[in-house]
Amino acid sequence: QVQLVESGGGLVQAGGSLRLSCTASGRTFSSYHMGWFRQAPAKEREFLASISNLAYNVYYTDSVKDRFTISRDNTKNTVYLQMNSLQSDDTAVYYCAALHITKPWAQLARGANDYWGQGTQVTVSS
């Protein structure tokens, strides 16, 4: 069992930056690919970015790839999402997710993940 806890959300002005963190319990963090999603009110959950278990590969959805950066520190069991140039339509609850390495990495972006965090709210004021 893996528990994921996000942090770093909050209120930021348009054009500002935030760094989200997601810390996992347990000693098998490096056995999981990790990703970030978000869900805005009345919208479906949206994939944002993923990173392979040893950080050799990263993948972004087109809408954020020039503004967001995913990274991880396996020594700290933590994955990060650096978000720059935030706009009002980035307002959402942001979730991290974990997918075991025995499953195809592409599955993570489709949302079929093994574990999810509880989410952290990001609100961008214009």
pLDDT tens digit at each of 126 positions of the chain: 899 999 999 999 999 999 999 999 987 999 999 999 999 999 999 999 999 999 999 999 999 999 999 999 999 999 999 999 999 999 999 999 999 999 988 899 999 899 999 999 999 998
Distance CA 57, CA 17 (A): 24
Q: How confident is the model at residue 8, as a pLDDT? A: 97
- Residue 7 in tokens: 């942090």
Tell me which residue of 24, 4, 2, 33 sits closest to 106, measured CA to CA. Answer: 33
CB-CB neighbours of 118 under 10 Å: 11
How confident is the model at residue 27, as a pLDDT? 77
Contact between 125 and 88 (Cβ < 8 Å): yes
Give the Cα separation of 45 and 15 in Å (integer).
23
d(CA 83, CA 70): 9
The H or E element spanning position 23 is strand 18-24
What pLDDT does 78 receive? 98
Could you give the CA distance from residue 77 to residue 68 in angstroms, rounded to a whole number?
20
Tokens of 1: 């069992």
Asked if 6 and 74 touch (Cβ cutoff 8 Å), the reply is no
